[in-house]
A and B are shown apart, each in its own frame.
Chain A
């Protein structure tokens, strides 16, 4: 149980384009989802916390107008990287917290590797 999927797994785009990444909880409802980015050989850096039906909370230094997050249902959150640039190239990972559960265990998606040319 507690499976999270992400789509796409890899994406290559040109500089200036926008990319949407989907995060789905397949067998549970997630009132809260998180978006992380991970650079090579580094830890996970929290970008934003996404709560179903409300605006996302962004970490300091993360541009909310550049990284648009939508959490329209209890099983789907999306991250849109707008006007992507090469420095946005990274591994983006989402996670979900089980609604009604202890509220702390996070289950991670398989990640999306974004390469901006």
Chain B
């Protein structure tokens, strides 16, 4: 089955700096890669996703890149703000298979 690894487990950045979280996956058939943000005690919220037919996707301060050959994808947050502080999870799946395989999470702290 799919195995998703995520690094780093914790990340602290100064407000205004960029943050990068990286994930690798093992199943070359995986073709959908969402990123979720989870605040303490709350639901995971989808913040951005990417499919294997594109290499990069951007939504305002958030971007995701995908390298299918190397089987890794990354989340980039620019101009970080304190409200970006949360746990971020990457995930991978095959369209139609439904099961999401989650990474172990990254706790991001943005220092004002």
Q: How large is the interface on A (under 10, 10 to 19, 20 to 34, 35 or more residues)?
A: 20 to 34
Of the listed stretches B57-65, B71-79, B99-107, name the one at the interface; the rest are far from the partner chain. B99-107
Over the window 92-104 of chain B, the binary record of Cβ atoms lying under 8 Å from chain A Cβ atoms (1 yes, 0 no) is 0111111110111
Q: For this complex, into which size category does the number of interface residues on chain B fall?
A: 20 to 34
Contact count A vs B, C-beta below 8 Å: 56
Task: Mark each residue of chain B from 13 to 45: 1 if its CB lies under 8 Å from any CB of chain A, else 0.
Answer: 000000000000000000010101000011111
> Contact: A104 with B43, CB < 8 Å?
no
B41 surroundings in chain A (CB, below 8 A): 91, 111, 113
Chain A contacts for B111, CB-based, 8 A: none
Residues of A within 8 A of B (CB): 4, 32, 34, 42-44, 46, 49, 91, 93, 97, 102-111, 113
List the interface of chain B (C-beta within 8 A of A): 32, 34, 36, 41-46, 49, 89, 93-100, 102-105
Question: Can you report 18 A-B residue pairs in the complex whose CB atoms are below 8 A from each other?
Answer: A4-B43, A42-B104, A43-B102, A43-B104, A44-B44, A91-B41, A93-B43, A102-B95, A103-B95, A103-B98, A104-B32, A104-B34, A104-B93, A104-B95, A104-B96, A104-B97, A105-B32, A111-B43
